[in-house]
């Protein structure tokens, strides 16, 4: 690990201003991803700004009936909150499907959104990776790509976004709240928060330099049956090959987002509209334009089968009610 300086932020505005002003500065909260990357020298921030004391760790109801989840709320606290479990069960189920209990006790809402890909070529500093070192090339294109993306990728990068929580938030149409270095605030729809790689895969989010996430807001509850189904190589502590986050209403309509297949949580509203027609029709809409490799072509079929499982489970739950 390379040397770095460290300080504790006194306010969100102060943290953002310092991150913009100090070259190589990064925010740190739980550090469950950043510290690993620093040890491997994939990330080498010159300065760390600790935001843990900024009182962004509460969950509050909004005026329109939704919830505002602070950036520093731990994954464990969010998943166990009675309001989240009752009205946004999808989010609880997705969150507890990720990592381990110990990590969820430290990982934060904002940090979870910002976690970086687990592409093995990103983690191997002996191989070229445009996400790690822009312009160096993408070793995954000619390598083993079983776990990597089938849609939304580019000639510069085929890595996938690894998280679970953000897949559920995409299905729920969450909004990411931030503060900029000048003190101004903005709300970013989660659909626009994560970027596709294009020619700049190292730019992963819509955040500007120094911009700090302060909260994630959920709209008023959707009702319906909430299901998160994750397919992975082992039963726990593994990233998804394919995951489906869905909210399905009593008439078979609904919405869903998919993880494990793209550089960001993947949702296509046209695919939502095709849900009543079944998994095959919805998957065709969702994966229109997909470009799988020979190694991961199976994911196209796996998405359809996982979605079919979700639709069947929702139907069974409705029948049992």
d(Cα 195, Cα 203) in Å, to the nearest integer? Answer: 7
CB-count exposure of residue 209 (10 Å: 0-12, 13-18, 19+): exposed
d(Cα 132, Cα 119) in Å, to the nearest integer? Answer: 11
d(Cα 32, Cα 210) in Å, to the nearest integer? Answer: 20
Which residues, in sequence order, are CB contacts of 58 under 8 Å at separation 6+?
70, 73
d(Cα 128, Cα 119) in Å, to the nearest integer? Answer: 12
d(Cα 43, Cα 142) in Å, to the nearest integer? Answer: 25
- pLDDT in tens for each of the 321 residues of the chain? 899 999 999 999 999 999 999 999 999 999 999 999 999 999 999 999 999 999 999 999 999 999 999 999 999 999 999 999 999 999 999 999 999 999 999 999 999 999 999 999 999 999 999 999 999 999 999 999 999 999 999 999 999 999 999 999 999 999 999 999 999 999 999 999 999 999 999 999 999 999 999 999 999 999 999 999 999 999 888 999 999 999 999 999 999 999 999 999 999 999 999 999 999 999 999 999 999 999 999 999 999 999 999 999 999 998 887
């Amino acid at each position: 690990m390379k040397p770095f300086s460290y300080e504790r932020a006194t306010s969100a505005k102060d943290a953002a201003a310092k991150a913009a002003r100090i070259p190589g500065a990064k925010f740190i909260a739980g550090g469950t991803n950043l510290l690993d990357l620093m040890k491997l020298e994939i990330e080498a921030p010159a300065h760390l700004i600790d935001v843990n004391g900024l009182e962004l760790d509460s969950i509050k109801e909004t005026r329109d009936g939704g919830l505002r989840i602070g950036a520093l709320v731990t994954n464990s606290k969010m998943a166990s909150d009675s309001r989240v479990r009752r009205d946004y069960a999808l989010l609880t189920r997705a969150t507890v499907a990720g990592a381990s209990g110990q990590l969820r006790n430290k990982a934060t809402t904002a940090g979870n959104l910002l976690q970086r890909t687990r592409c093995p070529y990103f983690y191997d500093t002996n191989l070229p990776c445009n996400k790690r070192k822009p312009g160096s090339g993408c070793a995954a294109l000619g390598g083993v790509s079983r776990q990597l993306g089938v849609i939304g990728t580019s000639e510069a990068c085929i890595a996938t976004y690894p998280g679970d929580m953000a897949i559920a938030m995409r299905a729920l149409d969450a909004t990411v709240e931030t503060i900029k270095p000048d003190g101004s605030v903005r709300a970013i729809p989660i659909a626009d928060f994560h970027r596709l790689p294009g020619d700049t895969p190292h730019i992963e989010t819509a955040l500007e330099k120094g911009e700090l996430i302060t909260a994630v807001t959920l709209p008023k509850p959707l009702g319906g049956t909430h299901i998160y189904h994750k397919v992975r190589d082992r039963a726990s502590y593994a990233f998804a090959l394919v995951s489906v986050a869905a909210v399905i209403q009593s008439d078979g309509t609904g919405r869903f987002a998919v993880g494990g297949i793209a550089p960001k949580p993947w949702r296509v509203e046209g695919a939502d509209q095709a849900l009543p027609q079944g998994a095959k029709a919805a998957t065709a809409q969702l994966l229109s334009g997909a470009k799988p490799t020979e190694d991961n072509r199976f994911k196209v079929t796996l998405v359809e089968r996982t979605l079919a499982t979700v639709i069947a489970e929702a139907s069974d739950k409705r029948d049992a009610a």
